[in-house]
Amino acid sequence: MKFRFALAALATTAMGLAIAQTPAPTPAPAAPAAAAVEIPPPPKPTATAWVLVDYITGQVLAGENYNERVEPASITKVMTSYVLAAEQKNGKIKPDDQVMMSERAWREGGAATDGSYSGFAVNKTAPLLDMEKGMAVQSGNDAAIALAEHAAGSQEAFASLMNNYAAQIGMKGSHFVNAHGLSAPEHYSTAYDLALLGRAFIRDYPEQYAFNKIKEFTVGQITQPNRNLLLWRDASVDGIKTGHHSAAGYCLMSSAKRGDQRLVAVVMGSTSEKQRADDSLALLNWGFRFYETHRLYEPGKAIATQRVWKGQAKEVQLGVAQPMLVSVPRGRYDALKPTMDVPKTLVAPITAGQEIGMVKVTLDGKVVAQSPLVAISPIEEAGFFKRLWDAFWMWWESE
């Protein structure tokens, strides 16, 4: 009887210990807390559709008609750039590939057309890297077609790749039929989809994304400036792409980074080159003024511990593999509520970096950030008798 009572007491103690070792993680202390700010309405662009998105969370901070179908014009070339970057990562093409400026690419996208062009010589080759920059900086239609032909054999085949990658990104309202963005039936997108594309491009391929902040590029004897006026107006702006034709109006996908905070703005169907730039910068400034980004957890630092069975150590420290950031309305940091979801039972061995569970942060009941919890250090398997003893207690607690 006493033995059973002692075992029960020990089991109760062990269970209490396991619960105590899985507390809700506490966010890193913020800078001196700013008072909550009443957020005024955003500046309204002169555009048919527009959206402002937080890069970290993907949250729409403001927008209008952003799920309606629009012609993406030369912002299409961001999708082209994304596909080219992905195909390079997959080893299908290389930056030093020699890309032919075909007769078709020259005739459909060269100087004799009404669109923008880079000026690569017809029936001659140029390095893929140079053509990428010509497309990104000069918005060259000729370069876009030539690159599509090189990567997929034809522009039509390349458009299939564009649609495949768009689906992976989550662009549910988009369909592409060419690499340059000139008006065509069944070539469309939405402001929101383009914001998703901008976020994905920045996140997945920062090296190629950086081409979009180059202010001018020279092909042969022709030097052309980047048409994104914001690159000259605000040092925090580092992209992304302009677009224009008669059916689409003036369009701009822009992004800026100030400190840890990055925003993406998309303005479609504006009335002029200046207006799209003015409206985009006003949106970015509004977002930076009334929203703020905080670093909650740094990689490699323990934010919680969890009981481990059958291991050489009794607990494992849990943290995040990547910096965990969150963007919230200015002054609302103290209202964030973190929670942790981990398995009830952990059994050694556990490897460093092994995903153990998930940490989520909510604001007003809505998840605003989440990240996998990983083991900071490994836990080796214990010896035979320790494993046997833990197996007994695991069985006891399961009853």
Mind spelling out the 3-state secondary structure of 356-367? EEEEEEEECCEE
Per-residue pLDDT of the chain (399 residues; tens, 9 = 90+): 322 323 233 333 333 333 333 445 555 544 455 566 788 999 999 999 999 999 988 989 999 999 999 999 999 999 999 999 999 999 999 999 999 999 999 988 866 666 788 999 999 999 999 999 999 999 999 999 999 999 999 999 999 999 999 999 999 999 999 999 999 999 999 999 999 999 999 999 999 999 999 999 999 988 999 999 999 999 999 999 999 999 999 999 999 999 989 999 999 999 999 999 999 999 999 999 999 999 899 999 999 999 998 989 999 999 999 999 998 999 999 999 999 999 988 899 999 999 999 999 999 999 989 999 999 999 998 888 888 887 888 788 776
pLDDT attached to residue 392:
84
Which residues are identified as catalytic?
A: 74, 77, 139
pLDDT attached to residue 16:
34
d(CA 284, CA 50): 12
pLDDT attached to residue 36:
67
pLDDT attached to residue 17:
31
Domains, the chain, with CATH or none: 2-28+298-398 (2.60.410.10), 49-290 (3.40.710.10)
d(CA 370, CA 339): 10
Angle at 157 between CA 151 and CA 159, to 5 degrees: 95
CA atoms within 13 A on the CB side of 23: 8
d(CA 233, CA 166): 31
> Which is nearest to 158 in space by CA: 172, 142, 178?
178
d(CA 29, CA 382): 37
pLDDT attached to residue 57:
87
pLDDT attached to residue 11:
34
Token readout for 376 is 């900071």
Token readout for 224 is 């052309």
Contacts of 261 by beta carbon, 8 Å cutoff, 6+ apart: 54, 55, 56, 288, 291, 292, 293, 327
Token readout for 356 is 């153990």
pLDDT attached to residue 5:
28
Asked if 239 contacts 205 with a C-beta cutoff of 8 angstroms, the reply is no
pLDDT attached to residue 395:
83
- CA 215, 110, 244, 66 dihedral sign is negative
Cα dist from 13 to 3, 10, 17, 150, whole Å: 15, 5, 6, 68
Cα dist from 3 to 6, 7, 15, 120, 138, whole Å: 5, 6, 18, 88, 82
Provide the whole-model pTM: 0.82
Asked if 68 contacts 51 with a C-beta cutoff of 8 angstroms, the reply is no
- CA 310, 312, 315, 317 dihedral sign is negative
pLDDT attached to residue 378:
94
Cis peptide before 372 (omega within 30 of 0): no
Cis peptide before 240 (omega within 30 of 0): yes
Helix, strand, coil tally for the chain in percent (to 5): 35, 30, 35
Helices 128-138, 76-89: axis angle to 10 degrees equals 160
Asked if 327 contacts 261 with a C-beta cutoff of 8 angstroms, the reply is yes
